[in-house]
Amino acid sequence: MNSNTKIYIAGHRGMVGSAIWRALEAKGYSNLIGKTSAELDLRSQEAVADFFFTEKPDVVIDAAARVGGILANNNYPYQFLMENMQIQNNLIDYSLKADVQKFIFLGSSCIYPKMAPQPLKEEYLLTGPLETTNEWYAIAKITGVKACEAIRKQFGKDYISLMPTNLYGPHDNFDLTSSHVLPAMIRKFHEAKQLPVVSDQLSVVGDKKNDFSEDLPVTLWGSGTPMREFLFVEDLADAVVFALENKFQDNLYNVGTGIDLTIKELAELIQKTVGHTGEIVWDSSKPDGTPRKLMDVSKMEQAGWKAKVGLVEGIQRTYQWFLENQESFKEVKI
């Protein structure tokens, strides 16, 4: 790789893609390509073919996907399956046809079986049933992993798959109908802190009287007991740059911190960061998802890369970005 290597970042305006773009620019890479969805519909085979044979990129980084939390996955299973397969299949296939030598495919830890031993090792792929709340997205991503593996095996090209754990950071999705747990909590706690109780005198929230100095309660899905691992998006971007500049021996690598916590502990940490002082209510009628999802990151560490940003610092930086950009978010009720 050199500063003039032509690198196409699919999904360059999303949280992950924009972080990768910034990381590459910081390292001196100057020949970066990005196309908006209006400029290039990655679901269109014809459009992707035209792009590849016109631009002829040296490297492709696939950070494009339709993503969302449990609610979005449950409500739009077909779109999460089909659109993700269309996007990645077009990118992978035309990278091969256009003789792209380096391809980095970004997936998700949800590709691993729901009840796989913890922490999750790369070899656990396809050893058991998936978590039903996100199996559509997971199946799509598994096909991408296996397609890159097949190309690596059959054609000897340096196509690798990086499986990040739960991501968060600047440019995250804070829409409460489609976001993941961490950004959703940031917004919920912030808006519960900002919204006053409207009453001439006092109002009753649950069993507690709430005067104007108290924050509104926040209701969160599930029991709070599942355990999750979180990776700051700039750490993932750093891992992508590392993968770009090094040749890996294998095709699949987990990317994470190797540290997890309960959703309840996460909620309390975000509540403290935001400064919310109200009650947290757990709605146990809603699904918890996978009981635990901790990544074994030893393989990536042996390759020479390790996460740097801790969760406390990462949440603080994410909330600061949220505060600076909250005017762009739509108003929604808690």
Instruction: Locate the domains of the chain by residue range.
Output: 7-171+230-258+294-309
For residue 288, say whether it is annotated as part of any ligand binding site.
Answer: yes
For residue 102, say whether it is annotated as part of any ligand binding site.
Answer: no
Three-state DSSP at 65 gives coil
pLDDT of residue 70: 72
Instruction: Mark 212-231 as b/e (b = at least 16 C-beta within 10 Å).
Output: eeebbbbebbbebebbbbbb
For residue 228, say whether it is annotated as part of any ligand binding site.
Answer: yes
pLDDT of residue 180: 84
Asked whether the beta carbons of 18 and 235 are under 8 A apart, the reply is no
pLDDT of residue 94: 98
Nearest by Cα to 261 from 310, 217, 305, 188 = 310
Q: What does pLDDT average to in each consecutive run of 10 residues of the chain (334 residues)?
A: 95 96 97 96 97 97 86 86 97 98 95 94 97 91 98 97 96 85 95 65 46 81 95 98 96 98 98 96 89 94 98 98 84 41
For residue 294, say whether it is annotated as part of any ligand binding site.
Answer: no
pLDDT of residue 49: 98
pLDDT of residue 207: 47
How far apart are the C-alpha atoms of 328 and 11, rounded to whole Å?
Answer: 20
pLDDT of residue 203: 46
Asked whether the beta carbons of 141 and 82 are under 8 A apart, the reply is no
Q: Spell out the SS3 assignment of 123-167.
A: HHCCCCCCCHHHHHHHHHHHHHHHHHHHHHHHHCCEEEEEEECEE
Asked whether the beta carbons of 183 and 200 are under 8 A apart, the reply is no
Cβ neighbours, 10 Å, residue 126: 12
For residue 190, say whether it is annotated as part of any ligand binding site.
Answer: no
Catalytic residue among 8, 137, 168, 319: 137
Question: What are the backbone dihedrals phi and psi of residue 101, each rounded to the nearest 5 degrees, phi first?
Answer: -85, -25
Three-state DSSP at 168 gives strand
How far apart are the C-alpha atoms of 47 and 36, rounded to whole Å?
Answer: 13
For residue 132, say whether it is annotated as part of any ligand binding site.
Answer: no
For residue 43, say whether it is annotated as part of any ligand binding site.
Answer: no
* Residue 253 a catalytic site member: no
For residue 152, say whether it is annotated as part of any ligand binding site.
Answer: no
pLDDT of residue 154: 98
pLDDT of residue 200: 45
Q: Specify the CATH number of the domain 7-171+230-258+294-309.
A: 3.40.50.720
- 85: enclosing H helix or E strand: helix 77-97
For residue 127, say whether it is annotated as part of any ligand binding site.
Answer: no
pLDDT of residue 201: 45
Three-state DSSP at 292 gives strand
How far apart are the C-alpha atoms of 182 and 315, rounded to whole Å?
Answer: 9
Question: What are the backbone dihedrals phi and psi of residue 154, each rounded to the nearest 5 degrees, phi first?
Answer: -85, -35
For residue 206, say whether it is annotated as part of any ligand binding site.
Answer: no
